[in-house]
Amino acid sequence: MRLSAACTFDERYHRVLPFLCRAYDRSLVRLISPFVRPPKQGFSQPQSVLASPDELPDIAPLQFDLVHQQDDLWKFEVESPVVSHWPESQMLRGRALGSADAKSALIVLHGACDNEYTYSRWMGAEFVKQGFRVLIPAAPAHLDRAPKCFSGAPMFWSTRNTVAGMAQWLCEIRGLIGYLRGQGVTTIGLIGYSIGSLTAGLAATIWSDLDFVCLLAPVGHHLKALPVSGVARRFWPWMVNLPADEIALFDRWSAFHRQPVGATPLFLMTLFDDLQPHSLQSAWWQAWSQPQKHEYRHGHMSILFSKQLYPDLSAFAAEMHGRSAAR
């Protein structure tokens, strides 16, 4: 289609933006997918996993010291409160930002196969500006907890691996919440991106003492994208045509089919998302009674570079911090 000579640059940009965002998602998935597929020589799986998030054990507060890394960035390391399927993930590792004296705190949950803390730090920094402290725990088999393979890949090689990883991460998040409460923090929220949004969403349906949860490029159910997204099928081909018992297990570990029990939700939705189509994000938003939302003209991965996302996070952080101060 020939664009009119009278079109402004902005008009042309907005016309091609959906194509660019989807092309970016598809290109990255095409690049990464060979590295995250299950190895042909086989791999280990847990013998059993929890049937649902309601079976998660009670977790005592974690205890650890922060180690200064650079500027406003700190590291932490502590043994996981549960036995990990991956020996390399028996130690929980992560990063921290902000003042240790802050009475408001955010826990950032990164996306699947993330191989650096950068994007999580970008999100966390907006909350630090509003008086929060921030913890960024690496998921099992990710980042500096990963086995010798592509970051995060082993967590997505089978249904049981995925559930085992999410269950361990949730237990660790619960231990971090206890740690923060023990330090006098009164307001605690989560922000999750992609698989982190599913994990954060599950947390909001389990624990009534969470104050808020932000869901970025929200994934309410791991399997719902497969019938409508060729990108999802390329990334996780083994999820196609799962047996009925594994589909039922994913259903039980879906935030889409559950309801929050206290946290204030914020949906941060991507309009041009080929990995988790907007219609699925909207369905989750509707299932949760249509809470506050923002929508962005971005794809699943380009959203991290949105200029509007970070001011929106800062404004929401200020609102949540204000609620805490008014108590």
Q: Rg of the chain over CA atoms, in angstroms?
A: 19
Give the C-alpha distances (Å, rounded to integers) separating 66 from 59, 171, 184, 185, 213.
Answer: 20, 20, 16, 16, 24
Q: Where are the domains of the chain?
A: 69-302+309-326
Q: Which CATH superfamily is domain 69-302+309-326 in?
A: Alpha/Beta hydrolase fold, catalytic domain (3.40.50.1820)
Tokens of 1: 């289609």
User: Residue 2 has what DSSP assignment?
Assistant: P
- Going residue by residue through the chain, which has 327 residues, state the pLDDT in tens, using 9 for 90 and above: 344 444 554 555 566 778 888 888 888 888 888 888 899 899 999 999 999 999 999 999 999 999 999 999 999 999 999 999 999 999 999 999 999 999 999 999 999 877 789 999 999 999 999 999 999 999 999 999 999 888 999 999 999 999 999 999 999 999 999 999 999 999 999 999 999 999 999 999 999 999 999 999 999 998 999 999 999 999 899 999 999 999 999 999 999 999 999 999 999 999 999 999 999 999 999 999 999 999 999 999 999 999 999 999 999 999 999 887 666
**Nearest residue to 265 via CA among 308, 184, 202:** 202
State the alpha helices, DSSP H only, in the chain.
9-36, 118-128, 159-182, 195-206, 230-235, 244-252, 278-287, 309-326
- Cα separation, 176 vs 235, whole angstroms: 31
- Cα separation, 134 vs 80, whole angstroms: 19
pTM: predicted TM-score of the whole model, two decimal places: 0.94
- Classified as helix, coil or strand, 76 is strand
- Cα separation, 214 vs 193, whole angstroms: 9
Q: Say if CB 217 and CB 270 are below 8 A apart.
A: yes
